[in-house]
Amino acid sequence: MPDQKPNVHVVDHPLVRHHLTHLRSRETTPIQFRAHVRRLASLLAYEATQDLDEEPFEVTTPLTRMTGSVVSSSLGLVPILRAGLGMVEPVLDLVPDAQVWHLGLYRDEETAQPVHYYSKLPPGQPVDLALIVDPMLATGGSAIAALTTLKEWGVPRIKLLSIIAAQDGIDAVSEASPETDIHVCAVDAELNADKFIVPGLGDAGDRTFNTPG
């Protein structure tokens, strides 16, 4: 793996490698696939939320009063439909007050360009931090389209969480939005002629929802 830019964070952990190996296997069933996505999304979210803003909060324990802290940032989860849906629930387990907004993007198989077909972002005040979640970062086209939409909404901080990325996708997103932190579990070397990540794991949406392509 080549040296990465400061905005790229690869989670280096035995549990990540364990679950990722099973996720890649063609023998992994859809129910197993979804479970591994959940575990990896939790580990990614844990790393990506280390710098959330906090504020003091006083509580009464069974023994005394004490001051702890609570998260003060408003957080938005933005799954890119449809594969990104599998990453939402595990992040909500960690941050149950997060808002969830959906962006519908798919890749045109002939041009490999993103097609934007759905957006559910509200007017008015955006969240303080948005986490775009999509299991695969291949060419980077869908991620860049999502970043553009969120910036137009006015989100001041955006992070991208993907389980597997191709180096091409990382380079494209970093060039288009160098201030965006990218959190991934692995960086694969190449894209094939059909713009699929190699070795990759196939089509994450089809494997999540048991819809063979």
Contact assessment for residue 170 and residue 139, using Cβ atoms and an 8 Å cutoff:
no
Contact assessment for residue 98 and residue 153, using Cβ atoms and an 8 Å cutoff:
no
For the annotated catalytic residues, the residue numbers are: 107, 111, 203, 206
Rg, Å, the chain Cα set: 18
94 CB-near residues (< 8 Å, 6+ apart): 42, 45, 46, 49
CA distance 11 to 118: 31
198 CB-near residues (< 8 Å, 6+ apart): 188, 189, 190, 191, 192
